[in-house]
Amino acid sequence: MRQFNNMNKMRKNPHSTATFNYTGIGVLNVFLLAAVIFLAMYFVVVSNVTTSSDYKVGLLNEELSGLEEVNGLLTAQKLSVENSSAIRNFAHNRQMVEAKYVTHIFESGEVALQR
The 10s digit of each residue's pLDDT in 56-96 is 999 999 999 999 999 999 988 888 777 777 778 888 899 88
Please tell me the pTM assigned to this model. Answer: 0.41
Contact 72, 84 (CB under 8 A): no
55 versus 89: the higher-pLDDT residue is 55
